[in-house]
Structures are given as C-alpha cells and as structure tokens.
C-alpha cells in the first residue's frame, strides 16, 4: 500500500478504528503536541501534562502503547492496512477516471493532476 493510500484511509476513516487504536492515536497526537511545545510527558508536575492525563489524552494502557512501539508511521500503516482489509466495503477509494490516481478526499471531483469529473 502506497503512502497516499495509507494517508487517505487514515485521515478519512478514523471512525473505523478499534477502541485501543483510538486510545493509541489520541495518545500519539497528544504526545506530539506536548513535545512540540517542549513539555516532558513524564513530568507529572507540569500542569499541561496533568490536564492531558486527566482528560485521558495520554494513556498508560499497555495494549494501546504497544501499538505505538514502532513509531507513528508504522502505526498509521498498520491501522490503514487493517481497516482496508476488514472494512473494504465501507472504504471508498476515489480514483480519478482520467489518470487513475487517488483523489485527495473521498468526495473530491478533481485529482492532484488537475483532472475534473
């Protein structure tokens, strides 16, 4: 599965993720945000980290964290492949009828090459 297809499925079909995948994704996004603002996610005295933990945006769930052990790219790829395999009938891959490339969104009427349909 190519990167565009992985990103497409991951971005537009998140609602099909399992509970553990959703917990892992929320943890991943929260961790990346905290790191971007130079917060140590292991600093329990940090007020922002406390809030994230209170709201369950950061998790200690071992199963969810196991999904993230190989990094965000691998997590996205694994989730996208599973979704595509298990929910194929629910996933619409919007290909351009002219060039055959994947459009940016499931509802797009123009491809990345500029073809309109």
Which tens digits make up the pLDDT trace of 50-70? 899 999 999 999 999 999 999
What is the band of 31 on the pLDDT scale with cuts at 50, 70, 90?
very high
3-state secondary structure of 110: strand
Give yes or no for residue 45 having a pLDDT over 90. no
Mean pLDDT (whole number) for 12-35: 96
| pTM given for the model | 0.85
Residue 75 has pLDDT above 90, yes or no: yes
- Rounded CA separation 65/107 (Å): 33
Could you tell me which of 107, 112, 83 has the C-alpha nearest to residue 94? 107
pLDDT of residue 90: 97
């Amino acid at each position: 599965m190519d990167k565009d297809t992985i990103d497409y499925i991951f971005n537009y079909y998140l609602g099909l993720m399992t509970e553990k995948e959703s917990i892992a994704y929320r943890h991943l996004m929260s961790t990346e945000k905290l790191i971007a603002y130079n917060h140590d996610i292991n600093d329990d005295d940090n007020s922002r980290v406390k809030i994230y933990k209170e709201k369950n945006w950061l998790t200690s769930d071992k199963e969810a964290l196991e999904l993230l052990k190989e990094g965000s790219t691998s997590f996205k790829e694994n989730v996208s492949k599973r979704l595509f395999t298990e929910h194929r009938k629910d996933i619409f891959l919007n290909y351009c009828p002219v060039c055959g490339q994947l459009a940016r969104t499931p509802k797009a009427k123009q491809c990345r090459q500029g073809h309109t349909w």
